[in-house]
Amino acid sequence: MKMITKIGLAVLAASLSSGVAMAAGKSYTIGISNTVQGNGWREEMICAMKAQALASGEVAKLNIAHRNTDAAGQLEDIRTLISAKVDAIVVTPADPAGIKAGLEEATKAGIVVVAVDQAVTEPSAYIISNNQEQYAYLGAKWLFQQMGGKGEVVYMRGAAGASADSDRDKGFKKALAEFPNVKVAQEVFTGWQQDQAKQQILSFLATGTPFNGIWTSGIDNVIVDALVESQAPLVPVVGADNAGFVGQLNTVKGLVGAAVTNPGSIGGAGVTLALQILDGKKPAQQTVLVEPQLWENATDEGKAKLKSAADPSLSPEWPVSISIPDWTTYTKEQIVACKGPGE
């Protein structure tokens, strides 16, 4: 069984606090495998990977497989990276079981494997992830409390089969079990795609089905847009710390909601972890979790947090948590530029 270390968003586990070693003469090639394009969170993740590789001074080249595909396609990408003889592979898995064989092959080839933001079933892989179960539990519990412990909730999940979605489902249902008078009015998979999620909520609104709250798996600002455009009731909404949604929580009159932190900058942390392992600094535990925070606009304290976190200069779909202290060393300018070594 894998050991797990939990860290706060602003606190680094002591066992990994040595930072990125600027090792003289190091010139690694890092492979990256991601299976979702057109999603702001994933785009920030890729930009964080590029920025951290550049800021580290240890990476000569990134070999990036970044496309919309399934587990079978990702398995092909991983095997291509193995053939390219990269030093490490940082992967966001489409499906943990579906790519297990590829990750095992990579490890046998002497390649360091780090899974970012989602767990994998290959025991040799290291994992650094936002705590997805806690992300869902925090937001759902707050939402059900705002609903008065009863009523109908619209449950807007991520991508079917993704371990992050499965973990969030556990957290959501854990909270749901604590509020027996809250029922799910509709459950949909958004695929973490903005257009798809907006159309799903518009279709639901057209049915006239009563509802009292909306939980989203990070596709949030377009849901608020749909409510406003449809002149539907502004029920409490939970989303992630995406810049657009954080802005809405600060400015949309009558909107009560909460943003749960889920930094896409975890991608940069994954590069850092891979480099630490390559430099002989293996973590004490196989899995490291970054703990989420909840920022709500129902209290003065929460409103103050949201105002301080707001960053209208970012893309609306990018999380405002663009760095993770001690895990990432790039500047805001570097992650926004989205340039890796040699670019």
Q: How many CB atoms lie within 10 A of CB 133?
A: 19
The beta strands (E) that lie in the chain are given as: 4-8, 28-34, 59-66, 88-91, 112-116, 126-130, 151-157, 182-189, 213-216, 237-240, 257-260, 287-291, 294-296
Residues above pLDDT 90, as percent of the chain: 87
Both structure tokens of 193: 């795609």
Residue-wise pLDDT for 208-231, tens only, equals: 999 999 999 999 999 999 999 999
pLDDT at 3 over 60: no
Residue-wise pLDDT for 152-168, tens only, equals: 999 999 999 888 999 99
Between CA 317 and CA 339 the distance in angstroms is 19
pLDDT band at 16 (very low <50, low <70, confident <90, very high): very low
Residue 153 to residues 144, 149, 183, 213, 305, Cα–Cα distance (Å) = 8, 11, 6, 5, 26
Residue-wise pLDDT for 62-83, tens only, equals: 999 999 999 999 999 999 999 9
Asked if 297 and 303 count as a contact pair (C-beta separation under 8 A), the reply is: yes
Residue-wise pLDDT for 36-52, tens only, equals: 888 889 999 999 999 99
pLDDT band at 323 (very low <50, low <70, confident <90, very high): very high
pLDDT in the model for residue 162: 87
pLDDT in the model for residue 1: 36
pLDDT in the model for residue 5: 53
Show the domains of the chain with their CATH numbers. Answer: 4-130+264-292+321-337 (3.40.50.2300), 132-260 (3.40.50.2300)
